[in-house]
């Protein structure tokens, strides 16, 4: 534990020193500046199953507030607060809205093609997937929904653009995410590659590895195609070996989604997800049979203003276990950002 803390601390201190030295060498023409930013997700929705209404009402699903400051042309720092959904609280705990430090990191630009960030950073696990989906305020990405990896964590990430068609990233993180303190003595090592052979095609491959019990490994991929200006087609596939450090408990996932522009500032979207797990020895059902299933998400989105959009949306989760009723949700979802 001590060795791990010393290594990470030394790396961060070294990077801060280099950033400070190089910042001092930059021309006096640059003026330090910063900006405040925020996103607020809310909805009015109805949850129901088997024609039985479970809940109706207004919800504030999430609110992000942050500040980004540029000390020089090559160095910036960012802090972001996440006021989360009460449903994110651990099962069995008292539900209440919690505020977390979602980001707190510095970014140093080594050159025109390379950056390094350190602190409580955004990892590239599902960064591009979330951009391709583009509707986080309505429904989480598959990886986020089913916990296939952390979106943010404490550590260091290096991003490098090899050329106009290939970007790579490498991260070393604690593996605990943003809401928990360090609980073990191991790092998570992640590597990703983004390939853009044409303007209409993007491929993304990512994997991470940990020395934790039974050495869990996560793999995911994305293919995003824009065959025309008004349509996008996307597919994700994920696999997690030894999920949560449990031997032979593997988890798989598939997410397919498309967006079609009906007219300016109005689009139709549809998505299909599938989550499944393996069958353990001497068992008849998959180990995650109570949660495995399929999601259907569809709706119409309106963008009347640059900093405001809303959607009329339906989402349903159909369990593989036919004894469990389908979960349905219909509502109006909004996003405000500045």
* Pair 69, 76: CB distance under 8 Å: yes
Structural domains for the chain: 2-337 (2.40.160.10)
Distance CA 270, CA 82 (A): 28
* Pair 247, 273: CB distance under 8 Å: no
Q: How far is CA 274 from the centre of its chain?
A: 18
* Entry pTM: 0.86
Output the CA angle 67-78-31, nearest 5 degrees: 75
The predicted pLDDT at position 126 comes to: 83
Averaged over successive runs of 10 residues, the pLDDT of the chain (338 residues) comes to: 48 51 59 95 94 90 95 95 67 61 94 95 89 96 91 93 97 80 75 96 94 82 94 97 90 98 97 98 95 98 97 98 95 97
The predicted pLDDT at position 6 comes to: 47
Distance CA 218, CA 209 (A): 7
């Amino acid at each position: 534990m001590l060795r791990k803390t010393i290594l990470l601390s030394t790396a961060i201190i070294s990077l801060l020193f280099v950033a400070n030295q190089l910042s001092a060498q930059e021309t006096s023409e640059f003026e330090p500046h910063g900006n405040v930013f925020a996103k607020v997700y809310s909805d009015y929705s109805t949850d129901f199953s088997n024609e039985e209404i479970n809940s109706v009402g207004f919800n504030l699903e999430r609110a992000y507030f942050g500040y980004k400051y540029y000390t020089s042309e090559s160095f910036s720092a960012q802090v972001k607060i996440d006021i989360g959904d009460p449903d994110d609280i651990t099962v069995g705990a008292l539900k209440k809205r919690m505020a977390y430090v979602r980001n707190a990191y510095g970014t140093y630009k080594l050159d025109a093609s390379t950056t390094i960030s350190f602190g409580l950073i955004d990892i590239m696990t599902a960064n591009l997937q979330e951009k391709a989906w583009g509707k986080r305020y309505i429904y989480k990405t598959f990886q986020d929904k089913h916990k296939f990896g952390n979106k943010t964590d404490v550590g260091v990430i290096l991003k490098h653009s090899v050329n106009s068609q290939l970007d790579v990233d490498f991260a070393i993180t604690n593996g605990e995410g943003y809401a928990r303190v360090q609980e073990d003595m191991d790092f998570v090592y992640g590597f990703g590659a983004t390939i853009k052979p044409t303007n209409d095609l993007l491929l993304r491959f990512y994997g991470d590895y940990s020395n934790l019990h039974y050495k869990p490994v996560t793999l995911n991929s994305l293919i995003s195609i824009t065959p025309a200006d008004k349509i996008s087609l996307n597919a994700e596939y994920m696999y997690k070996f030894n999920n949560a450090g449990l031997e032979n408990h593997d988890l798989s996932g598939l997410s397919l989604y498309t967006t079609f522009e009906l007219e300016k500032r109005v689009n139709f979207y549809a998505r299909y997800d599938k989550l499944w797990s393996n069958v353990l020895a001497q068992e008849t059902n998959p180990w995650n049979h109570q949660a495995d299933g399929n999601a259907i998400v569809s709706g119409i989105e309106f963008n009347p203003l640059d900093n405001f959009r809303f959607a009329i949306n339906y989402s349903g989760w159909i369990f593989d276990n036919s004894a469990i009723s389908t979960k349905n949700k219909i509502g109006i979802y909004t996003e405000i950002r500045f």
